[in-house]
Amino acid sequence: DVLRRITAVNVVANDLAVEADGVRGARFVAGDWAALKALAEAQRLRYDVILAAEAIYRPGAYEDLAALLEQCLAPDGLAWFAGKRFYFGCGGGTASFAGFLRERGFDVRVDRVVEDKRSNTREVLLIS
């Protein structure tokens, strides 16, 4: 619902190419990471760019999320994951997710840091 009511609306508001069923060349997906990986594998989906936000708050999901990235990210593709440096009470965050991916051979760097001095530090990870 968020993808349809907010993400897609933002895409249109920013004048990106839109077709009747969404953004040309883009696909908005949500759901369990393992189920999405199975779908991507069955349909042989590969993407040059993957964007995600607030997806890395639970370390227990890292394995499935990394498997999804391995399946879907094209060989020269790039992924940007935005999230909090630390998710208090959940155990996850950009720092632990980056370390997890590096152990599996991904190149990961912090592309952007947002610190407003009022809330948790947010980062955007660039993954290849």
The amino acid at 104: R
Q: Residue 69: what are its φ and ψ, rounded to 5°?
A: -60, -45
Task: Print pLDDT tens along the chain (128 aa).
Answer: 677 777 777 777 776 655 555 556 677 777 788 998 998 899 998 989 898 988 999 999 999 999 999 999 999 999 999 999 988 888 899 999 999 999 999 999 999 999 998 888 999 999 99
Residue 72: count of CB within 10 angstroms of its CB? 21
CB proximity list for 43: less than 8 A, separation 6 or greater? none
* Nearest residue to 33 via CA among 55, 54, 2, 50: 55
CB proximity list for 91: less than 8 A, separation 6 or greater? 58, 59
* pLDDT value, residue 127: 98
**How do strand 73-84 and strand 47-53 relate by DSSP bridges?**
parallel
* Nearest residue to 50 via CA among 21, 81, 12: 81
∠ Cα 8 127 34 (to 5°): 65
pTM of the predicted model over 0.85: no
Distance between CA atoms of residues 48 and 98, nearest Å: 20
Residues in the chain: 128
